[in-house]
Structure 1
Amino acid sequence: MYDVAVIGAGPAGATAAEDLARSGHSVAMLDREGRIKPCGGAVPPRLIADFDIPDRLLVARITTARMISPTGRKVDIAIEDGFVGMVDRGDFDAYLRDRAAAAGAARFSGTFLRLTRREDGLDVTFRDKRTGAERVLPARLVIGADGARSAVARAEVPGGDRIPYVVAYHEIIAAPDRADAEAGDYDATRCDVVYDGRISPDFYGWVFPHGAQASIGMGSMVRGVDLKRATADLRAASGLAGCTTLRREGAPIPLKPLERWDNGRDVVLAGDAAGVVAPSSGEGIYYAMVGGRVAATAVAACLASGRARDLQRARRLFMREHKTVFRVLASMQNAYYRSDDRRERFVSLCHDRDVQRLTFEAYMNKKLVRARPMAHLRIGLKNLAHLTGLVGPQYL
């Protein structure tokens, strides 16, 4: 009988498993393994510091972000006094799983099938990856960290079957050589974010360097969008059509945290299963790892007290720190992603120095900076001018 079974061992599940194992709990960690989630791979300095990520996992260091509008306008934003790290999810996730196992988590590879209850806890039934046989892990509590279409969430948590998501697709390519004239101005230290309805009608496309490789992709909530065609168009527009394709990946990315993360009894969610991906940006690695940490905190409290209501701490702790940022980003997405005219105005707004400084301070440190009230006021007024059309086309 394990204290907790963690279902899914991406950044959220592996973080939860490691934290609980280090605090002396018996942990079973179940993961399908072998599958790499489509992801730009950006990790801010706060993640690197908070979760002790070694330099060797950083395949690139980004010092500039480029915003590209529907008309081709380019706004380069320098990342002052630091960088954004880039990781390859295959190596990064494997490292986190290995670290959790080294801390004492028992590791199992297979596909989750179902939960059944017993008098003293739950049975987690899974299909063993190596043998194909059904196996059972008995546990007192369960953390569901099995992704955006979480089977645990659908079965156990109210609303877990109705989470909105963007379908993301990307292609990992061999990065172009510096001498490759077709690659245009590809820069291994710059991330490109493309706001163009021809690439994505409601989200964005990206070109993110990964050292010797690069991730090129897009996402959309609109049914019928040809993700592969849009990515091919983005590669052509970026001068990267001729680069060797190493792998292709697609998956849903949730865009709104669930109203409940626990079932009021013996299950709590973490990461994509709980919907903790930032609106507007789609950033998920940092928030997944925070979600895993607060889920571990809630589970530890429940195991100590025997009170099922302590599982509610996971969502409460997360929202206490990040709710305002999520609301601001959701408002930004709703305001600016609905048309190319709005996207053009959004990229124009990114020219503003106040916007650049506060945006990256918030991204790098995961907090809305309150030390510059006049800057906030100026940004609010500029936002209003752009959204109401008071700023004419000649100023965009």
Structure 2
Amino acid sequence: MVSPTDKRVDIPIENGFVGMVDRDAFDEWLRARAAGSGAQRQIGSFERLTRDDDGVSVVHYQARERPGDAASAPRSVRARCVIGADGARSAVARQAIAGAERNPCVFAYHEIVRAPLAKPVGYDGSRCDVYYRGSLSPDFYGWVFPHGDTLSIGTGSADKGFSLRAAVGRLRSDSGLQGAQTLRREGAPIPMKPLRRWDNGRDVLLAGDAAGVVAPASGECIYYAMASGRLAAEAVESALQTGDGRCLRQARRRFMKAHGTVFRVLGVMQWFWYSSDRRRERFVTICEDRDVQQLTFESYMNKELVRKKPMAHVRIFFKDMGHLLGLVRA
């Protein structure tokens, strides 16, 4: 963790790890696994939902031979249930779920670069560097994340007037990676909170970014996308077996029961600690504390708030109050 004044705090992850997912390999693995279980794969771009005369949903899409190809033909498929897992600002959600279009998003931008042969001073290919600086993001953080032979260097913000590309350029310079070969540049919207409703009460259900399940403060989404996908599948199975579309509600209900408190705590933490460089400086200082580190990463690894070790929570409370009241020097 790197503060606005370049204070650096190393947080060792004991008995665990942070996994970096290669989406090219992971997504194809998921598709192949689905096909191995009987799914019929089709490549195309979703267009709209309609209903046949008997009330069954019809998914219309533009078919393609391969990803990236021009559309070859309009096609459609009947579906007793539709799971919209088409990312932030989901087209399925906008058509089927009332109010989905109003869910706020931030925008994230990163550059994938080749890891340099001559490593910059302080470079560690096994460490994730997280920069808390207003010059890199007024409301989030900047990052340098290793992916083996490549690196992701990026930032994000809900401030539409903030230049993410310029901030990434500054971050590359600050981390000594300005000369690294750029392989590609990518940007995407990220939902700021789970949607209030994931289903239409009948036959459409959302999962992943389409449902808004991205953790505040960290921006983590892969784990929560997979968890919501499993819950969506189980809810759809119940709906198909019973013929009752109200069963689809259980996906969001079960997800929020398991993760809602974590999302609320992280949301408050981001709102408060990321709001100014003064607070960012204190936030990084707080994270020097071993109690904070241990409880934070136990919660991160287990995806739930750690309730054991009550005295550690008491100590953290008083340390946080000291920082908030200015009784502790950052």
Q: TM-score if structure 2 supplies the norm length?
A: 0.96
Match of 2:97 in 1: 157
Q: Secondary structure at the match of 2:11?
A: strand
Matches within 5 A, 1:223-234: 223-234=160-171
Match of 1:205 in 2: 142
Q: Secondary structure at the match of 1:86?
A: coil
Match of 2:64 in 1: 129
RMSD between aligned residues: 1.1
- Tell me, yes or no, if structure 1 residue 142 matches structure 2 residue 82: yes
Contact 1:270–1:295 under 8 Å retained in 2: yes
Match of 1:114 among 41, 48, 67: 48
Structure with the largest fraction of strand: 1
CA distance in 2, matches of 1:276, 1:321: 12
Match of 1:284 in 2: 221
How many residue pairs align between the two structures? Answer: 324
List 4+ stretches of structure 1 deviating above 6 A: none
Match of 2:7 among 73, 76, 79: 73
The AA in structure 1 aligned to 2:18 is: V
- Identity over aligned residues, as a percent? 61
The AA in structure 2 aligned to 1:92 is: F
Matches within 5 A, 1:209-224: 209-224=146-161
- Deviations for 1:41-95, whole angstroms, at most 9, x for unmatched residues? xxxxxxxxxxxxxxxxxxxxxxxxxx00111010000001222222211111111
The AA in structure 2 aligned to 1:294 is: L
Contact 1:335–1:387 under 8 Å retained in 2: no
The answer for unaligned runs of 5 or more in structure 1 is: 1-66
Matches within 5 A, 1:317-396: 317-391=254-328, 395-396=329-330
The AA in structure 1 aligned to 2:51 is: R
- Tell me, yes or no, if structure 1 residue 192 matches structure 2 residue 126: no
The answer for unaligned runs of 5 or more in structure 2 is: 66-70
Q: Secondary structure at the match of 2:19?
A: strand
Relative contact order higher in (CA < 8 Å, ≥ 6 apart): 1
Q: TM-score if structure 1 supplies the norm length?
A: 0.80
CA distance in 2, matches of 1:389, 1:111: 54
Match of 1:35 in 2: none
- Deviations for 1:226-272, whole angstroms, at most 9, x for unmatched residues? 11111011001000010100111000011200111111111111000
Contact 1:120–1:140 under 8 Å retained in 2: no
The AA in structure 2 aligned to 1:113 is: E
